[in-house]
Amino acid sequence: MIFSGRQLSAASLWLLLLGSQPLLAALMAEHVLSIKTGLDQPTDTAISDNGDIFILNGVLGEVVVFSEKGKRLRRFGKPGKGKTQLNLPMGISIYEQQVFIADTGNARISVFGLQGKFVRHIPLESEKPTDNPVEPVSLLLMDNKIIWSDRQNHQQCASSIYN
């Protein structure tokens, strides 16, 4: 969860909530948008500076982009292991006008432009010796770094955005 521009762990959030009833009221969710266009297990959402909503449609290996009013604008990606394909992606973030995707099944971060044009892949490796391939499931971009969670090896890792 992002709070005042910083990432909070669930434990930190609970400590804040327990100590502040007004904060709890401020964090209550409200319904913003209903989308009925064939999403199959959407796994994450990011919003661009212009208000477009990027929904990571995990099972179908694609990103579906909607206007802030809910009109579908475009989609990109498809399931697989190829250059422009995504394999069970689970995390999405927008940084410096690029879309970064935790391409879980392909053990990489895939980067696209806001219009869906493929830019590059950032290969990932475990920061500790392991026989298991990494599985990035979430990511946070800040200060030219990608902080990502590796669910297979139970670790948090950092990589340069410019690999």
Res 4: pLDDT: 41
Q: pLDDT (tens digit, 9 = 90+) per residue, 93-141?
A: 999 999 999 999 999 999 999 999 999 999 887 767 777 889 999 999 9
Res 103: pLDDT: 96
Count CB atoms within 10 A of the CB of residue 158. Answer: 11
On the question of pLDDT at 60 being above 50, the answer is yes
Res 70: pLDDT: 86
User: Residue 47: pLDDT band by 50, 70, 90 thresholds?
Assistant: very high
Domains of the chain: residue spans and CATH: 1-30 (no CATH), 33-160 (2.120.10.30)
- Rounded to the nearest integer, the mean pLDDT of the chain is 83
On the question of pLDDT at 163 being above 50, the answer is yes
On the question of pLDDT at 17 being above 80, the answer is no
| 3-class secondary structure per residue, the chain | CEECCEECCHHHHHHHHHHCHHHHHHCCCCCCCCCCCCCCCEEEEEECCCCCEEEEECCCCEEEEECCCCCEEEEECCECCCCCCECCCCEEEEECCEEEEEEHHHCEEEEEECCCCEEEEEECCCCCCCCCCCCEEEEEEECCEEEEEECCCCEEEEEECCC
